[in-house]
Amino acid sequence: MPEKPNENIQEAIGDTTKKPETESSAGLEISPSLELEKLSKSIGAVQDAVDHDKPVKISQLLQIEEAVKKLTVNFEGDEIPLEELEKIPNLENNFWLWERIRHMQSEFDSKDELFKEEMYDRLTGLTYITSEIAEILSSYHGDLYLSQLAFISEKALEHFSHHQGGLYLGKLTSLSDESAEHLSHHQGRLILNSLTSLSDQAIERLSHNKGGLTLCGLKSLSNQAAESFSHHQGDLTLEGIASLSDKAAEYLSHHKGGIDLAGLEYISDQAAESFSHHQGKLTFYSLISLSDKAAEHLSHCRGELTLGGSFSLSDKAAEYLSNHQGKLRFPYLESLSDKAAEHLSHHQGDLGLTSLALSFSDQAAEYLSHHKGDLWFDGLPSLSDQAIKHLAKHEGEIHNLDRNVKKKIDKIRKNYA
């Protein structure tokens, strides 16, 4: 016979129907449910075995363990799965933060910077909020940084549908279709960077949100989801997408607002042709290759264009891109040929060559000095004196230069004056 368990097993497991009496768990009780009935029966069966000196099966104890996980807790009026409640860190600290937020409510219209800082500190400390606190916060006209919330109830999200301002839910790892419906009515930027997947239905609903939408955790995007995003109005950030079908690119090209695809590694000629019709900022940070044909298509984009990654910029691609109208950025370009620099010198608009590893010749510096618009670099501490003399002749602003390089250029320009 297996070793007999503690005869006081029910006391060890705890009376699941009894309200906690300690101050730290005030307002927390097990909600009546079918699962609670099953748990009570399972505990009763184990207790009966103990009372009659019968062996307790491992399967019986596992049943109890599984039943406990499925229990729902009523916490301050909200129904929360016990599994989720157990994951919430520093739960007791929230009681104090809630009380402070209640007192701060009368000052929500304050423009005082110290108040905003305190509000930020309180919000970033929250690891859970009740629907009551969510309702209070929904009246705050400003950004809500709820960066530590890994779980939030449907009732709380429903209150946030009335909020105006940025809503940062950076640790939320799942979002139901119903929750997405609530957030679709929110007015302001939504940041949900820990969501690695969403149903097409949830994305369709989120696309109705009036404001920017940041979903950096998403790893893939179906054509249907891309079609939904095409109707979204506001900046769209999808930094986790590494590949995109041509059809998805076609849908996204109709999106009204900036699109950030910083993680995209390849862009086909067909996808580039679709994006050429996009009106708004386009950002690519991880391109491994860029064909001349794709560069030609992208040159027709209307808005700021960022092309970053490990690709090499061919002279022909530089020629095509020089026709782009608007700010043009190459954040990770490591080298720039003289011919490419000559082509880019004809570009009209700000030109960003912001790579720490960038190097170019004195001749390239002379070409760039004729560029019409501001130049943006990232240091360039190794520029030769001749290259510095050339860049000093540039008529626009030169940003983010190495301090010593900037001093030399300012000195030359002063002598010219």
Q: 131 and 29 in one domain?
A: no
Are residues 155 and 268 part of one domain?
Answer: yes
pLDDT mean over 13-22: 40
Domain around 296: 91-416
Residue 28 shares a structural domain with residue 144: no
Q: Do 52 and 111 share a structural domain?
A: no
407 has a pLDDT exceeding 80: yes
Residues 308 and 248 in one domain: yes
Q: Taking the model in full, what pTM does it have?
A: 0.81
Closest alpha carbon to 97 in 63, 60, 146, 141: 146
Whether residues 197 and 152 fall in one domain: yes
> How confident is the model over 296-326, as pLDDT tens digits?
999 999 899 999 999 999 999 999 999 999 9
Residue 400 lies in a domain: yes
> How many secondary structure helices (H) and strands (E) does the chain include?
19, 15
114 and 57 within one domain: no
Question: Is a pLDDT exceeding 80 seen at residue 6?
Answer: no
The neighbouring-strand residues paired with 72 are 81
Q: Do 378 and 264 share a structural domain? A: yes
Query: Residue with structure tokens 């000195």?
Result: 411
One domain for residues 193 and 70:
no
Domain count within the chain: 2
For residues 255, 260, 263, 265, the Cα torsion angle rounded to the nearest 10 degrees is 60
Quick one: CA dihedral 406, 408, 411, 416, positive or negative? negative
| Pairwise pLDDT comparison (77 vs 323), residue with the higher score | 323
Residue 3 is assigned to a structural domain of this protein? no
* Structure-block tokens of residue 191: 């940041």
164 shares its domain with 50: no
* 208-217 contact pairs (CB < 8 A, 24+): 208/184, 208/232, 209/183, 209/184, 209/185, 209/234, 210/186, 210/234, 211/166, 211/186, 211/187, 212/188, 212/236, 212/237, 212/257, 213/189, 213/237, 214/189, 214/190, 215/240, 216/240, 217/192, 217/193
Is there a domain that residue 4 lies in?
no
149 lies in the same domain as 44: no
Tokens of 14: 């705890």
